[in-house]
Chain A
Amino acid sequence: DIQMTQSPSSLSASVGDRVTIICRASQSISSYLNWYQQKPGKAPKVLIYAASSLQSGVPSRFSGSGSGTDFTLTISSLQREDFATYYCQQSYSTPFTFGPGTKVDIK
């Protein structure tokens, strides 16, 4: 199985801050990397697919980059509604695997 790691595991930030979350795969996954946002009690919501493609309806302050084994999710200007947990997921090969998550909370 491909192992996914994320850093940091949690972060505190203020509204308006630029936030970057890193995801690493245990082997190359090309660009088959997706990012999800999950709020408490809710289903995950896809933000970015194929490493850098913005899902329809997702605000442009979210962006993704990377390929191979190293990926980043960037929120250019954190908004109040962005406080949540973020997961990366590889869809390069089954079994699909998720990172452990990064919790973004209010400083």
Chain B
Amino acid sequence: QVQLQESGPGLVKPSQTLSLTCTVSGGSISSGSYYWSWVRQPAGKGLEWIGLIYTSGSTNYNPSLKSRVTISVDMSKKEFSLRLSSVTAADTAVYYCARGVRGLTGYYGMDVWGQGTTVTVSS
């Protein structure tokens, strides 16, 4: 079955750019039935949706992060990526990539998740 795996630096300095990649295995990344998303969770806190990308390359970002976020997809590598610029300590969190299901008239839940990767912002 489809599996997702996040990768990237675990430590990022303040004001720098956080970059993570999610690799899709065991299935296709090109199906139009899905969207590909990033979600984060600070330690001991709740879940925050960061944004999503379709295989067309079209994106949708959380307005709270929109000015700093870029999500991209590389179909040939079966990967999608997150870049978050100008990071601060408030961006320290576990970052998850996830696959979401698209319905005919809207979005459904995220049915496959990566294990998560911890990113700490510190000098």
Contacts and interface: CB of A to CB of B under 8 A. Distances in A.
Contacts of A100: 46
Interface of A: 1, 30, 32, 34, 36, 42-46, 48-50, 55, 87, 89, 91-92, 94-101
Interface residues of B, number: 27
A91 B47 contact: no
B54 interface: no
Residue of B47, B48, B98 with most chain A CB atoms under a 10 A cut-off: B47
A87 B46 contact: yes
Nearest to A87: B47
Q: Looking at chain A's contact residues, is the secondary structure mostly helix, strand, loop, or mixed?
A: loop
A34 B49 CA distance: 14
Interface in B31-73: 37, 39, 46-49, 52, 60-64
B88 to A, nearest CB: 20
Nearest to A38: B47
Given A32-B106, A91-B100, A94-B60, A43 B49 contact: no
Shortest Cβ-Cβ A-B pairs, 7 listed? A34-B109, A43-B113, A91-B107, A49-B109, A96-B49, A95-B62, A98-B47
Interface of B: 37, 39, 46-49, 52, 60-64, 96, 98, 100-101, 103, 106-111, 113-116
Contact of B110 (A1, A46, A48, A50): A46
A90 B46 CA distance: 14
Nearest to B60: A94
B60 A98 contact: no
Contacts of A1: 63
Contacts of A95: 49, 60-64
